[in-house]
Amino acid sequence: AVRRNLADAATDRSLKAYALSLPSMGTLAEEMAVIDPEALVKAYHLTQRGLVLALRADFEAVYAANALPSVPFRADREAIGMRRLKNTCLGYLAAISDDAVCAMCLKQARDEGACMTDVLAATASLASCDGAAGAAAKEEALALFYSRHAKGNDLLFGKWLMIQGGVDSPDCLERVNALLAHPDFSLKNPNKSRALIGSFAGNMRHFHAADGSGYRWLADRILEVEKINPQ
């Protein structure tokens, strides 16, 4: 079914992108009689990787076929659908985190002429990449996004925080702790607090860590916010 969808040239591209997308982990969790976060995350990523390993050439072909030139920028329905479908394929490809895919994501993240939709998609796709190539590409993409877009822009700074709070990488808790001390972050700013704390609280693997570290982290943040803005 996924192969047929990828090969279907007649269907609206936005519809194809939505049809290719897996349900969110939160949606899947709601269907479980007993929620097992670790098992859910493993099954989710196994499904993504399995599809890419079986259909990598198809995902890469659709990604390439839906690339648009940066100039002139197009915001018509066809262009929006092309970007949505291209970035859906990129998100799948990032599940295997090999050197070629990391380079593809980083190229899109580096493109100074790329629209924000493409930059965000590439940065988010890299954020959970593993391995030496993935780690280096992730750090470069996050640093570029901050320096080019998020620094001095609270809206984009919030998106930068959300990407990092929601990552599935082993250093997630360490990363969000470091972000608490970032010079542009303040618990006194509700939007920034919600971006970081909310994204981590929605992180299926790390918020629900078996050792309770995710719950303790959130409890500590609630106590800190309570001192600033008691409810």
Task: Look at residue 6 and tell me if it is in a domain.
Answer: yes
Task: Look at residue 25 and tell me if it is in a domain.
Answer: yes
Residue 26 corresponds to which amino acid? Answer: G
Confidence of residue 210 (pLDDT cuts 50, 70, 90): very high
Predicted confidence at residue 73, as pLDDT, reads 84
User: CA 139 to CA 134: how far, in whole Å?
Assistant: 9
**Statement to judge: residues 1 and 88 lie in one domain:** yes
What lies within 8 Å, CB to CB, of 219 at 6+ separation is none
Confidence of residue 134 (pLDDT cuts 50, 70, 90): confident
Find out whether 111 and 97 touch, Cβ atoms under 8 Å: no
CB-based burial, 48-75: b 16+ in 10 Å, e otherwise: beebbeebbebbbebbeebebeeeeeee
Task: Look at residue 123 and tell me if it is in a domain.
Answer: no
Residue 231 confidence (pLDDT) above 80:
no
Residue 195 confidence (pLDDT) above 90:
yes
Task: Look at residue 122 and tell me if it is in a domain.
Answer: no
Residue 219 corresponds to which amino acid? Answer: A
Which residue among 29, 63, 96 closes a domain? 96
User: CA 125 to CA 138: how far, in whole Å?
Assistant: 9
Q: What is the pTM of this model?
A: 0.92
Quote the mean pLDDT of the chain. Answer: 94
Residue 162 corresponds to which amino acid? Answer: M
Predicted confidence at residue 70, as pLDDT, reads 80
Confidence of residue 89 (pLDDT cuts 50, 70, 90): very high
Residue 179 confidence (pLDDT) above 80:
yes
**Statement to judge: residues 71 and 159 lie in one domain:** no
Find out whether 101 and 78 touch, Cβ atoms under 8 Å: no
Confidence of residue 209 (pLDDT cuts 50, 70, 90): very high
Task: Look at residue 210 and tell me if it is in a domain.
Answer: yes
| Phi, psi for 92 (deg, rounded to 5) | -65, -50
Predicted confidence at residue 162, as pLDDT, reads 98
Which residue among 31, 63, 96 closes a domain? 96
**Statement to judge: residues 85 and 175 lie in one domain:** no
Question: What percentage of residues in the chain have a pLDDT greater than 70?
Answer: 100
**Statement to judge: residues 158 and 231 lie in one domain:** yes
**Statement to judge: residues 164 and 86 lie in one domain:** no
Task: Look at residue 121 and tell me if it is in a domain.
Answer: no
Total number of domains constituting the chain:
2
Predicted confidence at residue 60, as pLDDT, reads 97
Environment class of residue 28 by beta-carbon count within 10 Å: exposed (0-12), middle (13-18) or buried (19+)?
middle
Predicted confidence at residue 114, as pLDDT, reads 87
Kindly report, residue by residue over 2-23, the tens digit of the pLDDT.
999 999 989 999 999 999 999 9
Task: Look at residue 114 and tell me if it is in a domain.
Answer: no
User: CA 21 to CA 137: how far, in whole Å?
Assistant: 24
CA distances to 4, 56, 142, 212 from 191, in Å: 42, 38, 20, 26
Confidence of residue 77 (pLDDT cuts 50, 70, 90): very high
**Statement to judge: residues 12 and 79 lie in one domain:** yes
Task: Look at residue 180 and tell me if it is in a domain.
Answer: yes
Which residue among 63, 78, 96 closes a domain? 96
The domain in which residue 187 lies consists of 151-231
Confidence of residue 39 (pLDDT cuts 50, 70, 90): very high
Nearest to 167 by CA among 200, 215, 213, 133: 200
